[in-house]
Amino acid sequence: MDTKLSPNMRSTIKLKLSIDIQRLLLRGLKDKTPQIILVLRPMLWELIAKVLFLRSKEGSPPVFFEWAINGQTVKSGPEVNYKIENYKKFSTFTIDEIQRNDSANYTCIVRDSVGSDRQTVLLTINVQEGSPPLFFEWSRNGQQIKSSPDVNYKIENYKKFSTFTIDEIQRNDSANYTCIVRDSVGSDRQTVILYITALQLTPLYPRQQTEGSYFQITCTIQEGSPPLFFEWAINGQTVKSSPDVNYKMENYKMFSAFTIEKIMRSDSANYTCIVRDSVGSDRQSVLLTINEGSDPQFFEWSKNGQTIKSRSEANYKIDNSEGLSTFTIKSIDMSDVGNYTCVVSNEFGSNALKLTPLMSPRHQKQGSIFQMTCSLQEGSPPVFFEWAINGQTVKSSPDVNYKIENYKMFSTFTIEKIVRSDSANYTCIVRDSVGSDRQTVLLTINAPKLSSGLTHKNQTIGSKFLMSCNVEEGSLPVFFEWSKNGQTIKSSPDVNYKIDNFESHSTFTIKSIDMSDVGNYTCVVSNEFGSNSRSILLSINALKLTPLLSPRTQNEGSVFQVMCAIQEGSHPLFFEWAINGQTVKSSPDVNYKIENFEMFSTFTIRKISRSDSANYTCIVRDSVGSDRQSVLLTIHAPKLSQSGLTHKSTTIGSNIQLFCTLEEGSLPVFFEWSLNGQIIKPNPGVNYKIVNFETHSSLKFENIERRDAGNYSCLVNNGFGSDGQSVSLSIRVPKLGYSVNHKTQSEGSYYQVFCSVQEGSAPLFFEWTRNGQQIKSSPDVNTKIDNFERHSTLTIPKIDRRDAGNYTSPKLSYSGSTQKSQTIGSIFHISCSLEEGSLPVFFEWSRNGQTIKSSPDVNYRIDNTKSFSTLTIDEITRSDSANYTSPKLSKYLSHKSQSIGTDFQVFCTLESGSHPVFFEWSQNGRTLKPIPEANYKIESSKKFSTLTIDEITRSDSANYT
């Protein structure tokens, strides 16, 4: 037969201990009567009435015990089934075998020569089992404890019961006390909650003040209920207000004030406030030390709050001497109007406004009264008080739960019944005509708070359901209670669930759920300061797929395979696949293959290409419902910007530059150039130069030769694939360029015309004609001809009517189109090459009609050579002229349900928009950052970001954004 304690024991003992603890905390009662505590014993029904002496004067022996059943006095005898045994300090009432008719109120009365006390226990009959030998064990907050000389408790084990005694309890004895009993068959346990509740004052601190200053102590209740009775003592002697003393006492509902308007040296003393209610008392003391205005003393003057000092050019004079400072203006004018203030200070302080320091932080229980009294320590009326909560100024009104009351020398802030949301910083500000001071108190509520978690769980029939209730904050001990759909539930052999309570958490387990287990399960945790709860809705969902890893990033040409497997569900199952939301099937015309099996399905592409980047979805159905999982496949092969230029023509001896720019793809990338299919590389014997950068490459020719004509290709590759682009380069025969077709000038003006080679190779020979007749320079003519390597000039310093000619201006060619649309963050590059015209030439760039130049302060770079110029922006921004599209993110699943311990990963991919983009993750609206101690990992690249949790726990249930 298993050992079993009465389930009713918990509530009965809790009630009685709560009553007796208040009694044990009584101090200074006039009637020194003995106090009683009643203890229930397991295994049989027995009462022990034990006299607990608070002091040697309270309840002194001899004491006399008496017992009553339902108010009728009873005694031991052969004809009754109970036994009464009286000892020096306690009495026992025993029924060896209780029966149903023993249900009653049992009262123990104790008397001595001074007075009496009594305690009553209601006995409810429950079946109890177990037989000797029995072994008892005690624990406190789950930790085993034993009697020893070093502890304040005593454990005594008997044949059929065990007692646990604390002769004089203290505040730190609040705990969860558990009795465990074992026999040869099994064990049982019962727990008693010990709450310490007593009258308590807000702590006070020593004060140092100067002679003549204002002294006020406010004695405020932190815990306790009206009616309250205040009393004051100086150096242990009780005092009262009267016309013959220099102090004043004022008692209010929840506090008392002790005031001395102007303290003297003789007022140095210990001031004590004593408060009493119907149950007990408490006291707080303040030691006042008087500091005289001793040397050295320091004087400071100010005008309208601004410090002023003597100086030769000022119209005033400050003279400081021992104990005296004077401020003199010999002849005042309108500018001298103002408020002049003198402040004197020494090592003990100054004569400025000062508040009495307040105790901070304050830890209080939920539902208790919170009151602060803000008292003036130094300063004189009139003063003005103001209050703030977390830095925000507040005022009393019918809409708030606090009350502010201002008096001549102090102000009070009161909340009659605090709640968790009242945890805050409370600040009192006082002002007078000269300055201000403030004091702040941090209020913390020590009620328990549970960790957040899932609010809904879908599980299959037969699976295990586990809910954990974890205390995140709050004072121990805490006590747990479970309910289903609002009805309290407890563990027993007749139910399919199990409840396990620990020091700071509790678990609820159903090994194998069925349809009857569907419901709302709630865990309530409580301590002496308050309570908190958390609920989870359990529902049955039969079909579930194993989560798939998404996105998948692969190399071009690799194998792509997705396995869609059942995690939970029953036969028969029907699988279906979709690409970007469109249902697909296997056929000879497609590059993928779908294979369906009993519990899973596979989707395979043997050799992926860039066009296979898509969202692949597996859908499974059974007779009850369906589920789906998706995988985003991304192929990060590089892609080059298309300039639209496939052919380029130039002349022998000219310079040319070809560009190859990355538009998209993962870094790093590698560039390679070829001529007519043959790889080319820079070396000392060639006239070209290859320069590679992170995202672009250039091929530059100096002094083009006829052999340089051909098909030039740029190839870029990374770990995911490659891309290329080509341009054909041809060499043109010589051709002259002309500046203008016709020019009209006035007679006698200066005239010059240029003849430059547009196409052709050196050496070149120039010849000039006028009206078809060849002309040459000579002293006899008014024309002068100058020939250079690639151009010639004809000059007439002073023209007449016979002078005429044709002029041609340079003609430029541009690489690329007249309009480009790019994304933010990409590279913008444009070249301006001289196609026709004479050297030297000068290049100039403009943006929206405004001339621009290179400098360290701009994000662009201009490079000029002999015959071409380039404008480069390494990383374009929105302010750079272009067409932009706002970002749009690809959307995936909005809800995921996973098992504890599995890996969780979610992807955020840029579908459209301009670079650079910045990714940020949040959990339930709270920003997540990548830190080493977190259980998650955030990885962001150019176009997507991933959030990964390697092994999820229940607390990871949340909204991730």
CATH architecture of 352-445: Sandwich (2.60)
Domain 449-540 has CATH 3.30.2320.20: no
Judged against a pLDDT cut of 60, whether residue 10 lies above it is answered with no
Q: Residue 337 CB: number of other CB atoms within 10 A?
A: 9
What is the DSSP track for 471-528?
Answer: EEE-PSP-EEEEEETTEEE---TTSSEEEEE-SSEEEEEESS--GGG-EEEEEEEEET
Q: Report the alpha-carbon distance of residue 710 to residue 721 in Å, rounded.
A: 26
Q: Report the alpha-carbon distance of residue 323 to residue 242 in Å, rounded.
A: 36
User: Could you tell me what percentage of the chain is helix, strand and coil, using 3-state DSSP and rounding each to the nearest 5?
Assistant: 5, 50, 45
C-alpha distances in angstroms, 561 versus 212, 581, 605? 90, 18, 6
pLDDT in tens, 128-186: 556 678 889 999 888 899 988 888 889 999 888 888 888 777 767 878 888 888 887 77
Determine the length of the chain.
961
Task: Report the pLDDT averaged over residues 787-808.
Answer: 71
From the list 602, 452, 458, the residue with the least C-alpha distance to 896 is 458
CATH architecture of 35-194: Sandwich (2.60)
Give the domain ranges of the chain: 35-194, 199-290, 298-345, 352-445, 449-540, 544-635, 639-732, 751-812, 844-876, 904-956
Q: Report the alpha-carbon distance of residue 693 to residue 699 in Å, rounded.
A: 12
In percent, the amount of the chain with pLDDT more than 90 equals: 15
Give a three-class secondary structure readout of 631-651.
EEEEECCCEECCCCCCEEEEE
At CA 785, angle to CA 782 and CA 789, rounded to 5?
A: 170
Cα 405 to the center of its chain, rounded Å: 37
- Contact between residue 221 and residue 201 where contact means Cβ atoms under 8 Å apart: yes
Of the two residues 434 and 50, the one the predictor is more confident about is: 434
Confidence of residue 125 (pLDDT cuts 50, 70, 90): low
Q: Report the alpha-carbon distance of residue 568 to residue 581 in Å, rounded.
A: 24
User: 414 pairs with which residues across the strands?
Assistant: 371, 403
Q: Is the Cα dihedral 649, 653, 655, 660 positive or negative?
A: positive
- Contact between residue 128 and residue 43 where contact means Cβ atoms under 8 Å apart: yes
Of the two residues 415 and 903, the one the predictor is more confident about is: 415
Judged against a pLDDT cut of 60, whether residue 815 lies above it is answered with no
pLDDT in tens, 662-710: 877 778 888 999 999 899 988 888 888 898 888 888 888 888 888 888 9
CATH class of 751-812: mainly beta
- The CATH superfamily holding the domain 199-290 is Immunoglobulins (2.60.40.10)
Q: Do domains 544-635 and 639-732 have the same CATH topology?
A: yes
Task: Quote the pLDDT of residue 870.
Answer: 75
- Contact between residue 712 and residue 671 where contact means Cβ atoms under 8 Å apart: no
Q: Report the alpha-carbon distance of residue 348 to residue 209 in Å, rounded.
A: 8
Judged against a pLDDT cut of 50, whether residue 36 lies above it is answered with no
What is the DSSP track for 360-407?
Answer: --EEE-TTS-EEEEEEEEE--SS-EEEEEETTEEE---TTSSEEEEE-
Q: Report the alpha-carbon distance of residue 59 to residue 152 in Å, rounded.
A: 20
From the list 568, 528, 563, 561, the residue with the least C-alpha distance to 544 is 568
Judged against a pLDDT cut of 90, whether residue 582 lies above it is answered with yes
Encoded amino acid at 89, one letter: K
The dotted CATH code for 639-732 is 2.60.40.10
pLDDT in tens, 459-477: 776 788 998 999 887 778 8
Does the reported pTM lie above 0.85?
A: no
- Contact between residue 657 and residue 813 where contact means Cβ atoms under 8 Å apart: no
- 282 CB burial (10 A radius; 0-12, 13-18, 19+): buried
In percent, the amount of the chain with pLDDT more than 70 equals: 81
Q: Which residues contact 276 (CB under 8 A, 6 or more apart)?
A: 28, 199, 228, 229, 231
Domain 544-635 has CATH 2.60.40.10: yes
Whole-number average pLDDT of the chain: 78
Task: Quote the pLDDT of residue 446.
Answer: 75
The phi and psi torsions of 859 (rounded to 5 degrees) equal -95, 10
Judged against a pLDDT cut of 90, whether residue 67 lies above it is answered with yes
pLDDT in tens, 148-159: 888 888 999 988
Residue 408 structure tokens = 């001549």
